[in-house]
Amino acid sequence: EVLTLLVLTYPLLWGLALQLHSAVTGSYVPGTHSIAFVSCLNEQIARDIARAIMDKRLAAYVNILPKSSALYFWKGELEESTEILLLVKTRTSKIGELSNYVRSIHPFEMPEIISLPIDQGNPVYLKWIEETVPRD
């Protein structure tokens, strides 16, 4: 029972340990923040989704990148399209909520929402993300 409890609480305890380390040392803990990538059909949809993300304070910053070409398989067929890409900077702890929210408002049947942790960066910028996006 103790082992089960330890396994179940490990992610929470580890997260608290990282926050404590960061607070005490003033240093950035790699992976505390992430960049999420969200593909959109056109610029209007991209702007609407970006604004909705910001209105919910799920991110500190969203870039809307211009049209790019995409090749992908969909329902067994090779497809080619243009799309707009959002780069969403947020806390890693918000990625699940961000993904669920974007899926609920995105017009695609299966929107592309993926994320990568931020290992390093400008400490002042990373602190700004921390201050801008509310904790869970």
- State whether residue 75 is helix, strand or coil: coil
- The helix or strand, by DSSP H or E, that contains position 66, with its residue range, turns out to be strand 61-74
pTM for the whole thing?
Answer: 0.81
Domain ranges of the chain: 1-29, 31-132
Residue 119 pLDDT > 90, yes or no? yes
Domain 31-132: CATH architecture, name and number where available? 2-Layer Sandwich (3.30)
Q: Give residue-wise pLDDT tens across range 99-111.
A: 999 999 999 999 9
> Using an 8 Å Cβ cutoff, are 82 and 68 in contact?
yes
Residue 31, phi-psi category: left (phi > 0), alpha (psi -120 to 50), beta (remainder): left
Which residues make beta-bridge pairs with 76?
Answer: none
Q: pLDDT per residue over 21-52, tens digit each?
A: 666 767 788 899 999 999 999 999 999 999 99
Give pLDDT, residue 27.
78
